[in-house]
């Protein structure tokens, strides 16, 4: 009997199926689709789950970041220091705000924004620092917070890959001025389409973001500033409410799977980035090898799917050609080596063992 393919991710509902079905039916039966009771309830429940002061549900993680910047008054003429290694949307949000991203290199172990690199880039135009809790591993918030406080800069946490993560025991998204979440379907908490949220303990900022996500409206027919729409719809909010009660167990399962990979990969031909904080929530499980394409081909031949997060450092994307070139050699090198192995709550132990056996069977250039 041939083994079934192991996809990189499987987004079909499982233990959440009945609740998701019921949530969709509830919204259809109610006939209320935008900014209604599901969004209100989700905002309360997500704020509680993340230990945040307030949640404002928006249309995507990219919008969440863009709206935070705009609501903080950051725009043309300002610079935002962020990481060269992330989903490109982190820096796209800065561009969309009218500010300019300034790229700092990564910590070689943690793979997140290096506070020492940030310190060298702070200048008169710097308005904010935007770390990313990449792959679910928290950035070094303690050091970054010290820096932003010393220079009077805003701190915006990109939590799009780190739902329920903690940094030194403190929930991610609660250290800075505001945090952005994505509910893109592959995220640790995923919708059936796009979605995002801002979390903040700053009431004034929250009120402005509520206006900015809704056409600048303060009350019916009162629009106090130019703005577009960026709203999570009722269907997505209802689905997210159905899934949120599972998130803690799903996170535990991610950690168990990551532990199985970690112990199984000791002595293999690949390098595994260390877990530098017990609050890592394993959105992804990237490994490193100088022969990334060969490893991917070897796994593909055994019906094991992988992806790369991310093959191109953000500053090298043409979209950022107008920004001041920054040298980020560590991010450049890592982008050539990363491979994300399958990891999602529905992945079973037998599949992980098959991946481990396939990697063990591969003699890449890093063994030794
Ligand atoms: C780290 C990070 N930031 C921002 C985003 C943007 O989120 P969205 O796709 O919901 O706009 C993503 C998702 O791709 C992400 O992974």
**How far is ligand 1, taken at its centre, from the CA of residue 30, in Å?**
31
Mean pLDDT of 207-223: 97
Would you state the pLDDT for residue 252? 98
Mean pLDDT of 292-319: 97
Mean pLDDT of 78-82: 98
> Looking at ligand 1, which atom is closest to the CA of residue 86?
1
Nearest CA owner, ligand 1 atom 14: 87
| Most ligand 1 atoms within 8 A of CB, residue of 160, 286, 310 to mutate | 160
Nearest CA to 108 out of 326, 258, 273, 267 is that of: 273
Mean pLDDT of 204-221: 97
Q: pLDDT band at residue 108, thresholds of 50, 70 and 90?
A: very high
Q: Does the C-beta of 184 come closer than 6 Å to ligand 1?
A: yes
| Most ligand 1 atoms within 8 A of CB, residue of 9, 57, 59, 61 to mutate | 61
For 250-299, the pLDDT digits (tens) are 999 999 999 999 999 999 999 999 999 999 999 999 999 999 999 999 99
Q: Does the C-beta of 105 come closer than 6 Å to ligand 1?
A: no
| Most ligand 1 atoms within 8 A of CB, residue of 62, 134, 159, 286 to mutate | 62
**How far is ligand 1, taken at its centre, from the CA of residue 109, in Å?**
22
Would you state the pLDDT for residue 195? 98
Q: What percent of the chain has pLDDT over 90?
A: 96
**How far is ligand 1, taken at its centre, from the CA of residue 40, in Å?**
23
Q: Using the predicted structure, report yes or no on whether residue 113 has a pLDDT greater than 70.
A: yes
Q: How many CB atoms lie within 10 A of CB 28?
A: 12
Q: Does the C-beta of 61 come closer than 6 Å to ligand 1?
A: yes
- Mean pLDDT over each residue of the chain, to the nearest integer: 96
Q: pLDDT band at residue 211, thresholds of 50, 70 and 90?
A: very high
Q: Does the C-beta of 112 come closer than 6 Å to ligand 1?
A: no
Would you state the pLDDT for residue 58? 98
Please give the domain boundaries of the chain with CATH numbers for all domains. Answer: 17-244 (3.40.640.10), 246-360 (3.90.1150.10)
**How far is ligand 1, taken at its centre, from the CA of residue 365, in Å?**
32
């Amino acid at each position: 009997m041939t083994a079934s393919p192991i996809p990189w991710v499987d987004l079909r509902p499982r233990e959440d199926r009945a609740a998701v079905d019921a949530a969709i039916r509830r919204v259809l039966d109610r006939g209320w689709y935008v900014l209604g009771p599901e969004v209100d309830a989700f905002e309360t429940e997500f704020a509680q789950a993340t230990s945040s002061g307030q949640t404002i549900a928006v249309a995507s993680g990219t919008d969440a970041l863009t709206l935070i910047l705009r609501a903080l008054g950051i725009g043309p003429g300002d610079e935002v220091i962020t990481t060269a290694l992330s989903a490109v949307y982190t820096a796209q949000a800065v561009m969309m705000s009218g500010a300019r991203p300034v790229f700092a290199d990564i910590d070689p172990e943690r793979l997140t924004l290096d506070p020492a690199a940030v310190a060298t880039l702070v200048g008169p135009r710097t308005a904010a620092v935007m770390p990313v809790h990449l792959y679910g591993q928290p950035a070094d918030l303690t050091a970054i917070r010290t820096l932003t406080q010393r220079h009077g800069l805003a701190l915006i946490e990109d939590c799009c890959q780190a739902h329920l993560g903690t940094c030194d025991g403190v929930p991610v998204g609660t250290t800075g001025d505001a945090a952005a979440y994505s509910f893109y379907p592959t995220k640790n908490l995923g919708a059936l389409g796009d979605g995002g949220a801002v979390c903040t303990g700053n009431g004034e900022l929250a009120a402005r973001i509520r206006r900015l996500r809704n056409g600048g409206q303060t009350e019916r027919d009162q629009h106090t500033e130019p703005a577009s729409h960026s709203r999570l719809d009722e269907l997505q909010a209802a689905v997210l409410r159905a899934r949120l009660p599972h998130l803690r167990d799903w996170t535990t399962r991610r950690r168990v799977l990551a532990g199985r990979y970690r112990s199984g990969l000791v002595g293999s031909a690949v390098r595994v980035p260390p877990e530098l904080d017990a609050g890592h929530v394993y959105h992804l499980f990237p490994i490193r090898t100088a022969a990334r394409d060969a490893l991917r081909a070897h796994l593909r031949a055994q019906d094991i799917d992988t992806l790369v997060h991310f093959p191109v450092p953000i500053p090298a994307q043409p979209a950022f050609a107008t920004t001041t070139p920054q040298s980020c050699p560590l991010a450049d090198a890592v982008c050539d080596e990363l491979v994300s192995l399958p990891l999602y709550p529905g992945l079973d132990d037998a599949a992980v063992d098959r991946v481990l056996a396939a990697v063990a069977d591969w003699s890449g250039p890093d063994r030794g």
